[in-house]
């Protein structure tokens, strides 16, 4: 039977919303599902993990060194833990999981399966390659363990009606001091988080300035939507990097996506393939974004978007 270890990403004691999606992927395999929380004090995050449907046990590994969850520090602990009879080690496809898990896989001597988007069985998975323009089905060796990151846009979060036991464990691993946290400059926003928002409004190069992005924010606020951007808008400094949607930014799957003044480059489309409904607003009727949009409107965004905002 499978025994799955999920790395319970947390920040400031709060469990990441991505974990409920990783549990959903694990449930497709079945067996025991354990979530390990590495923190300075992981009590609150562990309690949240314990509620997720399908979780059979939560492991709380409290250590002062785990405060900022540095991969160089967390990886040796995961490796020690993973050796205790786990068939699978899963992490979310967040920047945290992508940074951490290959370090674990290499130590265990296994190839990692990156960005699992479908589970066919305990060792058979689909993953996207070439910016999602091809889907590869892979068979991973079962021993010593299957190590995989989970593509969040492909799985719906499990509910939180469970009550798994929480066990405090200590892991015996030597931790390096060669990597030190200096600071995190986080964007504070009252808007829904991009990766879990049901609606997202994104703006592209056409916005022309950060000042002009206010037409995007106004529409987003009316829709209670998260806000995203193309790489061109980020590179031009209109918005911060954490808003980039696409192959090398965030992969999202909202119910409703607005692409405004975005041409629809394949790298951008890679981030929105799983959006339920795509609305495109662009002044160029030939823009490739219209090839994938469910609803397209040709027009000048500086007229169309304020009008749309006022009519909602």
Partner 1 sequence: MKALVSVKRVVDYNVRIQVKPDGSGVVTDGVKFSVNPFDEIAMEEAVRLREKGKVTEIVAVTIGGAKCEETLRTALAFGADRAVHVKEEGEVQPLTAAQALAAVFKKEGAQLFLLGKQAIDDDANQTGQMVAALLDLPQATFASKIELDGAKALVTREVDAGLETLEVDLPAVVTTDLRLNEPRYLKLPDIMKAKKKPIEVVSLGDLGVTAAAGLKATKTAAPPKRSKGVMVKTVDELVTALKGKGLI
Ligand X SMILES: Cc1cc2nc3c(=O)[nH]c(=O)nc-3n(C[C@H](O)[C@H](O)[C@H](O)COP(=O)(O)OP(=O)(O)OC[C@H]3O[C@@H](n4cnc5c(N)ncnc54)[C@H](O)[C@@H]3O)c2cc1C
How many Å apart are CA 232 and CA 207, to the nearest integer?
10
30 binds partner 1 (CB under 8 A): no
Task: Choose among partner 1, ligand X, none what residue 240 binds, the Cβ cut-off being 5 to 8 Å by kind.
Answer: partner 1
Q: Which structure tokens are listed for 148?
A: 């995989």
CA angle 193, 262, 201 (to 5 degrees): 25
Q: What x-and-dash track marks residues 201-240 binding partner 1 by CB under 8 A?
A: ----------------------x-------x--xx----x
In the structure encoding, which two tokens stand for residue 280, read together? Answer: 């495109």
Binding part of the chain for partner 1, among 26-34, 156-164, 172-180, 203-211 by CB under 8 A, reads 172-180
Write out the two tokens for 117.
Answer: 């988007």
Query: In 3-state terms, what secondary structure has residue 161?
Result: coil
Please compute, for residue 217, the number of CA atoms within 13 A of its CA located in the half-sphere on the CB side.
Answer: 11
- 302's contact among ligand X, partner 1, none, with CB below 5 to 8 A by partner kind, is ligand X
**How many C-beta atoms surround the C-beta of residue 206 within 10 A?**
20
CB of 68 to partner 1, least distance (A): 8
Smallest separation (angstroms) from partner 1 to the CB of 164? 26
Q: Which does 98 bind (CB under 5 to 8 A by kind): ligand X, partner 1, none?
A: partner 1
List the single partner that 263 binds among partner 1, ligand X, none, CB under 5 to 8 Å by kind.
Answer: ligand X
The Cα 89–Cα 5 span in angstroms is 5
Find the binding residues for partner 1 in span 87-146 (CB under 8 A): 94-96, 98-107, 109-115, 124, 128-141
Q: Which of 21, 63, 88, 250 binds partner 1 (CB under 8 A)?
A: 250
Cα–Cα distance list, 223 to 83, 198, 200, 293 (Å): 47, 10, 9, 19
Out of ligand X, partner 1, none, what residue 288 binds, judged by CB under 5 to 8 A for its kind, is none
Strand partners, 282: 298
Which member of 44, 65, 267, 302 binds partner 1 (CB under 8 A)?
267
CB of 283 to partner 1, least distance (A): 13
176 binds partner 1 per the rule CB under 8 A: yes
Expressed in angstroms, the distance from the first to the final Cα of the chain is 52
């Amino acid at each position: 039977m499978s025994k799955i270890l999920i790395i319970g990403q947390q920040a400031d004691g709060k469990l990441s919303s991505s974990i409920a999606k990783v549990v959903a992927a694990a449930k497709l395999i079945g067996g025991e599902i354990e979530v390990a929380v590495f923190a300075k004090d992981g009590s609150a995050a562990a309690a949240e993990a314990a509620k997720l449907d399908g979780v059979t046990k939560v492991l709380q590994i409290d250590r002062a060194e785990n405060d900022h969850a540095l991969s160089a520090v967390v990886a040796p602990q995961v490796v020690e833990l993973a050796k205790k009879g786990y068939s699978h080690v899963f992490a979310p496809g967040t920047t945290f999981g992508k940074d951490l898990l290959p370090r674990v896989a290499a130590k265990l001597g296994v190839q990692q399966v990156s960005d699992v988007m479908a589970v066919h069985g305990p060792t058979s998975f689909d993953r996207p390659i070439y910016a999602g323009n091809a889907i590869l089905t892979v068979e991973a060796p079962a021993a010593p363990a299957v190590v995989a990151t989970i593509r969040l846009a492909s799985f719906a979060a499990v509910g939180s009606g469970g009550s798994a036991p929480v066990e405090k464990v200590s892991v015996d691993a030597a931790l390096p001091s060669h990597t030190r946290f200096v600071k995190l400059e986080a964007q504070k926003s009252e808007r829904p988080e991009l990766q879990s928002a049901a609606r997202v409004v994104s703006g592209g190069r056409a916005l022309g300035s950060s000042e002009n992005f206010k037409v995007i924010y106004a529409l987003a606020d009316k829709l209670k939507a998260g806000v995203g951007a193309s790489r061109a808008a980020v590179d031009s400094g209109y918005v911060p990097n954490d808003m980039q949607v696409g192959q090398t930014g965030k992969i999202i799957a909202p119910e409703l996506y607005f692409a405004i003044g975005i041409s629809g480059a394949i790298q951008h489309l890679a981030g929105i393939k799983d959006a339920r409904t795509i609305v495109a607003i662009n002044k160029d009727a030939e823009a490739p974004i219209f090839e994938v949009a469910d609803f397209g409107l040709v027009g000048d965004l500086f007229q169309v978007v304020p009008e749309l905002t006022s009519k909602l």
